[in-house]
A and B are shown apart, each in its own frame.
Chain A
Amino acid sequence: MSEPILSRNFSVPEAWKLSVAEGRGAYQTAKTVLTTMKPEDVTNAVLASNLRGLGGAGFPTGKKWQFLPKDGKKPVYLVINADEGEPGTFKDRYILERDPHQLIEGILLAAYAIGSKKAYIYIRGEYVLPYRHLQAAVDEAYARNYLGKGVFGTGIDVDLVVHRGAGAYICGEETALLNSLEGWKGYPRLKPPFPAIVGLFGCPTIINNVETIACVPHILKNGAEWFAALGSPGNGGTHLFSVSGHVEKPGVHELPMGTTLRDMIFKHAGGISGGRSLKAVIPGGISAKILTASEIDVKMDYDSLRAAGTMLGSAGVMVMDETTCIVKMLYYAAKFFAHESCGQCSPCREGTGWAFKIVKRIYRGEGAVRDLDELLKIARGMEGRTICVFADAAAWPIQSYIGKFRAEFEEYIRSKGTALARPVSPYKPQAAAPAVSTLVRSGARRLPER
């Protein structure tokens, strides 16, 4: 890893303050671009950079922007999805908390590119400190006329509103987010129409993830080719990986797209904590299918992980060592999805609750081996039959945990819950490597629960 890009200010004290951020070069790119470039050139640069949506879906960002109606009479909105709710993911939090001006500069550029005069940031309600820093940054930017009417003395207006969510995971789904932002219940919308045509308040809307937009100033500063070259083919740039679980150095690691999972765990995250051995990894947040210890040579980018049968998702890498009970993992995953299903579509509403009841029964030692097939049937039934991909996300842990660890499930069921994974050996910290130590999330390390 060469120079950090998105995380370059994360360890700078008070980089969320405008004076500090400007000392580090913030808003220089936006000033130049807004006065010298045409909006379509900005879009073209983003398109050429191979920047892909870093919220989880990995859709090419420039292409998304081009979906807007060309001769639209209605206003265009830019909405930033900062509802980072995917378990195992905390990368956007770092940007919001530690370098919000990077995001605001990206918003200026993106709003300029798509012709939007009003942008919203929908921030997760639980993110209190990130919200305070972000709001302070927005206020400072307004005070300096970096936001508002005629930014930088140009004729360009960009208003930015920070809106706090109320705690529902589903509001990270972009159309549920729009409903929530409009004041409705956070139900995902039927598609088509897609938000680029009918979005916020019925107007064309572009919704991008925090990190995606934070990349835009860097692309325009250093060039699309530079950005594309950082990653792997078709997957431009670096990515903030949220590494958690049984590693020596959990935290946000900025690495090029295409870094192998093995390098990420053993080189950048310091290896498995306590010297124990690796059991499994979830590479992209709780929704992503699990990988076993033998599958970690996969490259961490959208296309490679899809080929490996899982997904990059939100890049929340959850590392589990040999002491992890996979039944318990599924218990927590199933509980999460049953709790967070919005309840709109019948397969998801009923399927997530049904699956959780079965998993709970198994976990309590009251399961039967045939329950596993029933779970797989429920998962298959939910998958692909709903308005949004929540049901798929709820199905994948069931399918992959049982699919890859069926023997352990069966053993657990047969022994009525007494056969746990290998007992925990006493914790022996290894010598911590100093690199990117500022990124280590203090307090994130916890001994595995029994």
Chain B
Amino acid sequence: MANITIDGKPYTVKDGITIIEAIDEARLGLPRYCYHPGLSIAGNCRICQVEVEKMPRTVIACNTRVAEGMVIHTASAKAKESQETVLEFLLANHPLDCPVCDQAGECKLQDYYMEYGLYDQKFNEVKVKKEKKAIPVGPTIMLDQERCILCTRCVRFGEEITKTHDFGVFNRGDHSELDVYPGHELNNKYSGNVADICPVGALTDRDFRFKMRVWYLGSQDSVCPGCSRGCNIEVHYEKSRPYHLKEERVMRLKPRENLAVNKWWMCDDGRYGYKSIDINRLRSVNYPESNGASPDATWLVALEKVAAHLKDPAASKTWGLLASPRSTNEELYLVRKLFRDHLKWQHIGFRAPKDPDGDEDGFLIRKDKNPNSAGAARILGPGDLGPVVELAKSGKLEGLFVFQHDLEALFGADTLRAVRKNLKTLVFAGPNLNPTSAVADIVLPSAAYAEKEGTFTNFEGRVQRIWKAIEPLGASRPDWRILADLAALAGLKSDYPRAEHVFDELVRNVPAFTGMSYKSLGKGGLVWAG
């Protein structure tokens, strides 16, 4: 360990770390463009200048290692002058087209100018003109060479993380320009990340571009439901302009740092998978006589209709339930409590047949495209969908309660048709319309993951929280709420003001979760004991 002083305060840090790592550990501010903790050190932007006592000149914090007794100033006159000088160089040839730049509001040139610059511009010459402005470099990313400050974060991302070798810096001097290699396009499963790490408006996300100014965005932490990795994300949604783009509330997803799960990255499938939150949603409760009723009354009627089936003692053998590995741990726990333990249903499954085509890489993407298969297995025990669907198909069941699954996608249209034909009652609960929901007798619209609280357990047994970013769409309600209401109607004590109360009960009843609470899970989650 080394004892150092930063801005007058003593810190004890690990030997051999860089000054910028020490500054970040201490949560102090320092400007940076080329430095990114997930990439190699390039040291080319030169903005992270700090003053180190006994050194003649300011040094860059990203490539200077701490030493015992080092006294560092990040905001002394000398350090500030150095930072400001470098910033002025970086802005010299920058087009300053902020009013039409989609990065405005989350641009580090803007931010640092306000924080560390504020000089009067003296560049009085003609700026260097570069060819590529608003040129797509691949399906997801747009390039603007003039805005680029040549920090090479995207170059290093392609070299070191995806190893797809996409970008290079061509030419030299102030005619240096960023581009993809000739004949190459940026088209890999992680391409969206380069827009995140680009500190300026040089690489922007074609999906998000011009949809909304970032200062109208709200942000809520969540976990990507796209596969069993459980990448930590932020859900960016429209916050203050509800009249704007009415039908689209979630604007984009961004990866959120979690060194144990996804570091700083997420895949493109996950990133652009947010559209199901607003598109193709089930908005209203549906049952044969539901036309024209008020939403609340409809829910009550629908739940009572379902409860009527639950109360039938024969249902434990004549009904089946298809739980979902896309549901939260809380919801799966309520399925277990109500259907398995209380109603003694015999036919409960959740695990879909293995998809031989699911892609997987050695990095983030997992073959299992469900966020909570591990949680479902631990809470419900083994339970394949197949046998339950077989029973329904062969006419051995009267009713089937389906959470989220689409039988057509999983077992084929013929199976769905046969199941439908042989069932008296099909109940569907889920956020999105699918061929199965389309033929259900009772449809209970559920909230999407961004509309509710809960936890997912990823493939490694890490339990991670999701938070509510936006209100449930239309009449939809979180599944845990639907299940709690059904439990009450079925005669169980069911007092859960919030999902957290379900979780606390789950913790007491499922050993893997012992000791956990929403508080202890925090932002980054916890791994099951044992």
The interface of chain A, by Cβ under 8 A from chain B, is 168, 170, 185, 190, 192, 338-347, 349-354, 357-358, 361, 374, 377, 381-382, 384-387
B42, CB-defined interface residue at 8 Å: yes
* Chain B residues within 8 Å of A346, by CB: 44-47, 86, 89-90, 149-150
* Chain A residues within 8 Å of B169, by CB: 185, 343
B82, CB-defined interface residue at 8 Å: yes
Evaluate whether A387 and B43 lie within 8 angstroms (CB atoms) in the complex, with A190-B63, A347-B89 already known: yes
Closest CB pairs A-B (n = 6): A353-B174, A343-B176, A357-B125, A350-B89, A341-B173, A381-B85
CB of B148, distance to nearest CB on chain A (Å): 11
Chain B residue nearest in CB terms to A377? B122
* Chain B residues within 8 Å of A377, by CB: 122
Point out the residue from B125, B150, B174 that lies within 8 Å of A358, measured CB to CB.
Answer: B125
CB of A191, distance to nearest CB on chain B (Å): 8
Cβ contacts B114-127/A at 8 Å (1 or 0 each): 00000000111110
A342 to B44, CA, bound (A): 11
Q: List 6 A-B contacts (CB under 8 A).
A: A192-B63, A340-B173, A344-B150, A350-B93, A350-B174, A353-B93
A343 and B89 form a contact (CB under 8 A): no
CB of A150, distance to nearest CB on chain B (Å): 41
Chain A residue nearest in CB terms to B128? A353
* Chain B residues within 8 Å of A381, by CB: 85-86, 88-89
A344 to B89, CA, bound (A): 13
B57, CB-defined interface residue at 8 Å: yes
A350 and B92 form a contact (CB under 8 A): yes
A170 to B173, CA, bound (A): 11
CB of B274, distance to nearest CB on chain A (Å): 35
> 15 extra interchain contacts, Cβ-Cβ under 8 A, other than A345-B45, A384-B57?
A190-B63, A341-B174, A343-B174, A344-B44, A344-B150, A345-B46, A346-B44, A346-B47, A346-B86, A346-B89, A346-B150, A358-B125, A382-B89, A385-B49, A385-B85
A97 to B71, CA, bound (A): 52
Chain B residue nearest in CB terms to A351? B89
Chain B residue nearest in CB terms to A337? B173
The interface of chain B, by Cβ under 8 A from chain A, is 41-47, 49, 57-58, 63, 82, 85-86, 88-90, 92-93, 122-126, 128, 149-150, 169, 171-176
A382 to B89, CA, bound (A): 9
A339 to B171, CA, bound (A): 11
CB of A224, distance to nearest CB on chain B (Å): 33
CB of A393, distance to nearest CB on chain B (Å): 14
Chain A residue nearest in CB terms to B87? A346
* Chain A residues within 8 Å of B58, by CB: 385
Evaluate whether A361 and B125 lie within 8 angstroms (CB atoms) in the complex, with A346-B44, A385-B49, A386-B46 already known: yes
A341 to B42, CA, bound (A): 17
A192 to B43, CA, bound (A): 11
* Chain A residues within 8 Å of B174, by CB: 338, 341, 343, 349-350, 352-354
A190 and B176 form a contact (CB under 8 A): no
Give the most central of A190, A192, A361, A386: most B CB within 10 Å: A190
A385 and B63 form a contact (CB under 8 A): no
* Chain A residues within 8 Å of B122, by CB: 374, 377
Q: Is the interface of A mostly helix, strand, loop or mixed?
A: helix
CB of B115, distance to nearest CB on chain A (Å): 17
B173 and A343 form a contact (CB under 8 A): yes
CB of A361, distance to nearest CB on chain B (Å): 7
A347 and B86 form a contact (CB under 8 A): yes
A350 and B90 form a contact (CB under 8 A): yes
B43 and A353 form a contact (CB under 8 A): no
B85 and A347 form a contact (CB under 8 A): yes
Chain A residue nearest in CB terms to B177? A343
A339 to B175, CA, bound (A): 9
A346 to B171, CA, bound (A): 15
A342 and B125 form a contact (CB under 8 A): no
* Chain A residues within 8 Å of B93, by CB: 350, 353
A342 to B169, CA, bound (A): 11
Point out the residue from B57, B85, B88, B176 that lies within 8 Å of A349, measured CB to CB.
Answer: B176
Chain B residue nearest in CB terms to A338? B173
* Chain B residues within 8 Å of A338, by CB: 173-174
Chain A residue nearest in CB terms to B62? A190
Chain A residue nearest in CB terms to B149? A346
Point out the residue from A339, A385, A387 that lies within 8 Å of B86, measured CB to CB.
Answer: A385
A216 to B93, CA, bound (A): 48
B82 and A342 form a contact (CB under 8 A): no
Evaluate whether A343 and B150 lie within 8 angstroms (CB atoms) in the complex, with A338-B174, A354-B92, A357-B125 already known: yes
* Chain B residues within 8 Å of A358, by CB: 124-125
Give the most central of B49, B90, B124: most A CB within 10 Å: B124
* Chain B residues within 8 Å of A185, by CB: 169
* Chain A residues within 8 Å of B175, by CB: 343
Chain B residue nearest in CB terms to A357? B125
A443 to B174, CA, bound (A): 35
Give the most central of A338, A354, A377, A382: most B CB within 10 Å: A354
CB of B440, distance to nearest CB on chain A (Å): 61
Point out the residue from A342, A357, A384 that lies within 8 Å of B173, measured CB to CB.
Answer: A342
A350 to B172, CA, bound (A): 11
A351 to B82, CA, bound (A): 14
A158 to B142, CA, bound (A): 51
Chain A residue nearest in CB terms to B122? A374
Chain B residue nearest in CB terms to A349? B174
* Chain A residues within 8 Å of B86, by CB: 346-347, 381, 385
Give the most central of B47, B63, B123, B173: most A CB within 10 Å: B173
* Chain A residues within 8 Å of B92, by CB: 350-351, 353-354
* Chain B residues within 8 Å of A382, by CB: 89
B44 and A354 form a contact (CB under 8 A): no
A190 to B85, CA, bound (A): 20
CB of B430, distance to nearest CB on chain A (Å): 52
* Chain B residues within 8 Å of A340, by CB: 172-173
A354 and B123 form a contact (CB under 8 A): yes
A377 to B88, CA, bound (A): 11
Chain A residue nearest in CB terms to B40? A190
A387 to B124, CA, bound (A): 27
CB of B255, distance to nearest CB on chain A (Å): 27
CB of B523, distance to nearest CB on chain A (Å): 33
A387 and B128 form a contact (CB under 8 A): no
Point out the residue from B42, B88, B173 that lies within 8 Å of A190, measured CB to CB.
Answer: B42
A414 to B29, CA, bound (A): 46
A357 to B174, CA, bound (A): 11
A4 to B451, CA, bound (A): 87
* Chain B residues within 8 Å of A341, by CB: 172-174
* Chain B residues within 8 Å of A374, by CB: 122, 124
CB of A387, distance to nearest CB on chain B (Å): 6
* Chain B residues within 8 Å of A387, by CB: 43-44
A345 to B92, CA, bound (A): 13
CB of B489, distance to nearest CB on chain A (Å): 66
A384 to B51, CA, bound (A): 13
B46 and A190 form a contact (CB under 8 A): no
B46 and A352 form a contact (CB under 8 A): no
Point out the residue from B57, B63, B123, B172 that lies within 8 Å of A342, measured CB to CB.
Answer: B172
Chain B residue nearest in CB terms to A342? B172
A443 to B57, CA, bound (A): 44
A357 and B43 form a contact (CB under 8 A): no
A349 to B150, CA, bound (A): 10
Point out the residue from B123, B126, B172 that lies within 8 Å of A343, measured CB to CB.
Answer: B172
A185 to B88, CA, bound (A): 26
A170 to B89, CA, bound (A): 20
Give the most central of A340, A342, A344: most B CB within 10 Å: A344
CB of A70, distance to nearest CB on chain B (Å): 21
* Chain A residues within 8 Å of B45, by CB: 345-346
A350 to B42, CA, bound (A): 17
* Chain A residues within 8 Å of B46, by CB: 345-347, 385-386
* Chain A residues within 8 Å of B82, by CB: 385
* Chain B residues within 8 Å of A386, by CB: 46
Evaluate whether A190 and B125 lie within 8 angstroms (CB atoms) in the complex, with A341-B174, A343-B150, A353-B174 already known: no
A170 to B90, CA, bound (A): 21
